[in-house]
Amino acid sequence: MLPITYAIRNLFRDPSRLLQTVGGSALVVLLVIAAAALTRGMEGVLEATGSAQNVILVGAGSEESIERSEVHLDAESAAATAVSGLSSPLGITAASGEILYMAPLTIAGGHEEPALLRGVTEKALLVHTRVRVIEGAYPSPGQVMVGRLMYRRFGVEALDLAPGRTIAFGKTEFTISGIFEAPGTVLESEVWFDRNDLATLTQRDTLSAVYLRLDDAEFDDVHVFTLQRNDLELSAIREDKYYEKLSSFYAPIRAMTWVTAALVAAGAIFGGLNTLYAAFASRIREMATLQSIGYTRTALLLSLVQESLLATLTGTLLAFVLAMFFLDGLSIPLSLGTFTMELTPGIILTGLGTGLALGTFGTLPPALRCLKPALPVALRSS
Amino acid sequence: MFITIRNLTKSFKKGPNLITPLQNLSLEAPRGEFLALMGPSGSGKTTLLNLIAGIDSPTSGDLMIDDHDVARLSRAQLTKWRSRHVGYIFQLYHLVPILSAFENVELPLLLMPLSRSERRARADAALDLVGLSDRAQHRPPELSGGQEQRVAIARAIVHDPELLVADEPTGDLDGESARSILALLTSLSQDHGKTIVMVTHDPKAAAVANRVLHLEKGQLVNPPATPASAVS
């Protein structure tokens, strides 16, 4: 084997090539990290939002979108009494009739953004068990409670949506009563209204859905209820299944992210390959000389790969540093909710694997071409 | 005999044509002989040199170097054989530009089971032999042509091979540098017992060899002479 110093010094033989390789691999790895983090963040938040213990009752035919669903007001109490085995903390049955509505909200300063509004009663906390009020209080009539990440959707400071500030729906202003968290779920980008307030604002006399939290009961018990009370025209869906379906709705966005990353990466890889072909082509005679001394082609190939790996792994490290500063914790607002990009161990491994693959497989074609000519021919090359 | 060549032929296809740079060539050379190969371009000198050095393999014929049947070795075996038994000196030195003179000389030793201190001692000794101890840490671009060729010779002898092959070793040097390189090669042959095969176009260079062989169209044009009748 040639000493590692040979590979290291070769890196600095052409500083512009080194910069190009490090920069190119950093770009590719950064794109892969971004695409993986976005995909993982999107899937993760939707997976985490749905609970297998919750069942949603929606209007028959509206299984794809709760926002379009209409459920009779009586359904909440009917389900609470008819389905036995629902969770009942402190003796209150965990059945929460809610209104979901997508509408633009305006905050002080005139910022207007669409947000998912949820009209709730206190019972919502019995079914959305991850929700915890971290500041202020639960909303009373004339008040709203905002999710912890809501300010990012508006692109303002957290203080702009602190308790005591106002938020307007149309011309009606509401005081922010509190901030809630629901770690890792899309709920953190919602605004919770008093249910009656939202019913008035949206001029509805129906609910969007009734959320039930199961204890001893099973999904089939709820399903049987929907059949028994066919007059209510309900359909039961497990909450985790609902969000799984929503996740598949975003599949084209994820695919586009990967396609974009792949296209830019392909450009960088072809540019890098071209540079390597030129760089190695100028070293054909040097490689032949080393073979004439007694170094095997395999040893020389390993040295060339080693050299490229040093450059691509430096690029990978650079990509990780950039990702830590610019991607880690970055919130991406989509209509459903806000996704946070995180550098999880899996994503770090993906980035590292990309860097290793670039250094190894990207080097093989130009390196093999450099080592391919017959020794007498290679020794005479200029 | 150190080198025994019988009916050596090398041919290869170039497009539709079969090129035969060497045809049924035979020669012998004893250990320690300094042999010069002369001839016009395309006469097969470098091809013969490459075959003797194990850089290339013959199409047919026998090639024995110090009892090693070089003609029958595989590419991997040839690579290993070269690393132990051959030192190659090139016209354009072929030094690795990013390595110092010392590191260039050390390259063949990295293939041997030697400790760091043993490698250092041998590389220092080789540089000392070619008179370049004070340039050990200089890189090739910082050396003159003559000095580069001295480093290349140090690299060729550092692992103590029995056979040195040189392809126009003075072809790129001025007269003074060429003379000192030839003196060095003569010393390696006479004082250190190295068998040297040198390709050259320069009759002055050939004159320092024990024997001069002329090739034309892949064949020797004068019969191989014995060391007793060597050209001095």
Three-class DSSP category at A349: helix
> Are A138 and A163 contacting, i.e. CB atoms less than 8 angstroms apart?
no
Nearest CA in chain A to B48: A376
Supply the DSSP symbol for A185. S
pLDDT at B230 over 60: no
State the Cα–Cα distance between residues A32 and A322, nearest whole angstrom.
Answer: 13
Domain boundaries, chain B: 3-97+161-225
Which of A13, A291, A376 is facing B79, going by the closest CB pair?
A: A291
CB pairs under 8 A between A and B: 57
- Which pLDDT tens digit goes with each residue over B174-186? 989 999 999 999 9
Closest residue of chain A to B108, computed from CA coordinates: A293
Which residues of chain B make contact with A291, given a CB cutoff of 8 A?
Answer: 79
Chain B nearest-CA distance from A4, in A, is 12
Question: At residue B225, does pLDDT exceed 50?
Answer: no
pLDDT beyond 80 at B228: no
Contacts of B103 in chain A (CB under 8 A): 5
* pLDDT for position B223: 46
Is the pLDDT confidence value at B168 over 90? yes
Q: Kindly tell me if the per-residue pLDDT of B227 is higher than 70.
A: no
Alpha-carbon radius of gyration of chain A? 29
Radius of gyration of chain B (CA): 17
Nearest to B80 among A285, A290, A294 (CB): A294
Distance from the Cα of B142 to chain A's closest Cα (Å) equals: 15
Domain spans in chain A, listed from the N-terminal domain onward: 4-47+250-380, 61-232
Q: Do A292 and B55 touch (CB under 8 A)?
A: yes
Q: How many angstroms separate the CA atoms of A85 and A82, rounded?
A: 10
Distances (CA, A) of A154 to A42, A158, A172, A273, A321: 19, 10, 18, 43, 27
Of B55, B79, B99, which is closest to A376 when you measure between CB atoms? Answer: B55
Rounded Cα distance between A7 and A304, Å, is: 7
Q: Quickly list DSSP for A198-222.
A: HHHHTT-SSBSEEEEEBSS--HHHH
Q: Are B171 and B200 in contact (CB under 8 A)?
A: yes
- Mean pLDDT in chain A? 91
Minimum distance, in Å, between the CA of residue A282 and any CA atom of chain B: 12
Given an 8 Å threshold on Cβ–Cβ distance, is B88 in contact with A292?
Answer: yes
CATH number of the domain located at residue range(s) B3-97+161-225 in this protein: 3.40.50.300
Contact indicator for A112, A106 with CB cutoff of 8 Å:
yes
A376/B98 CB distance under 8 A:
no
Query: How far apart (Å, rounded) are the C-alpha atoms in residues B91 and B183?
Result: 16
Q: What is the pLDDT of residues A205-226, one digit of tens each?
A: 999 999 999 999 999 999 999 9
Looking at chain A, list the stretches that DSSP marks H as alpha helix, in order from N- to C-terminal side.
Answer: 4-11, 15-49, 74-82, 124-127, 150-154, 195-201, 219-228, 239-249, 251-281, 284-293, 297-326, 345-361, 364-371, 375-380
User: Which residues of B sit within 8 Å Cβ distance of A?
Assistant: 46-47, 50, 53, 55-56, 76, 79-80, 82-84, 88, 90, 94, 96-99, 103, 107-108, 110-111, 155
Short-list B188, B179, B173, CA closest to B129: B188
Top residue of B11, B46, B82 to mutate, by most chain A CBs within 10 Å, is B82
The C-alpha atoms of residue A144 and residue A351 are separated, in whole angstroms, by 41
- ipTM above threshold 0.95: no
Amino acid found at B134: D
Q: Which of B84, B94, B103 sits opposite A289 (nearest CB)?
A: B94
Per DSSP, A184 falls in state T
Torsion of CA B78, B82, B86, B92, to 10 degrees: 100
Fill in the DSSP letter of residue B64: E
pLDDT in tens, A245-272: 888 888 888 899 899 989 988 888 888 8
What's the token pair of residue B160? Answer: 């103590």
